[in-house]
Amino acid sequence: MLKWTLIGYYPVGDRPLFSSFVWRGELVDVFVEQLAVPHFLRHALGSPLFNAYQRLMGVKIGRGAWVETWWLPEFDLVNIGERATINRGTVLQTHLFQDRVMSMERVFVHDGATLGPNSFMLPGSEIEARSTVGPASLVLRQEVIPPDGYWAGNPAQRLNEKEVTHHG
């Protein structure tokens, strides 16, 4: 596998933009986006086969998880719990660049949590058990969404029962 040959394991931490590590990671991304997604992965989204592929790449995915996105940039830094739902068009962003430095952190979607379609999670963020983040929402860097709630917006904010009915 190209990822394991070029990168090995993606670690938490910082890397300079012009390091070979960053550019080797870009090669892995191009391979996934230009070859694997159009010819294989887009047909497997949401299936056990897709989850098996992601596990081979280093993603930690719990049993019964529904994953419908291929945007999991640094595979080893993504943790998806049992029965979690990651909807289509979402991005579990594990890195950001600032001042020409790539900073990588883990993201967690805990057991039974849901990330709505076309939503983003930034590095270091978590959605705790049984919480839902609605469509087109943004979970900020290092933000923790508490358990058993419904959140939506950019940035994501907790909604009360009346707002959930109106939003959903």
H-run or E-run covering 150: strand 150-152
Distance between CA atoms of residues 151 and 120, nearest Å? 13
User: Tell me, what's the pLDDT at 40?
Assistant: 87
What per-residue confidence (pLDDT) applies to 48?
A: 95
CATH for 11-167 is: 2.160.10.10
Question: What is the arithmetic mean of pLDDT over 106-111?
Answer: 99
Tell me the torsion sign for CA atoms 140, 143, 147, 148.
negative
Kindly state the average pLDDT of the residues 28-34: 91
pLDDT per residue as tens digits for the range 61-105: 999 999 999 999 999 999 999 999 999 999 999 999 999 999 999
**CA 68 from centre of chain:** 10
Q: Where are the domains of the chain?
A: 11-167
What DSSP designation does 30 have? H
Model confidence, pTM: 0.92
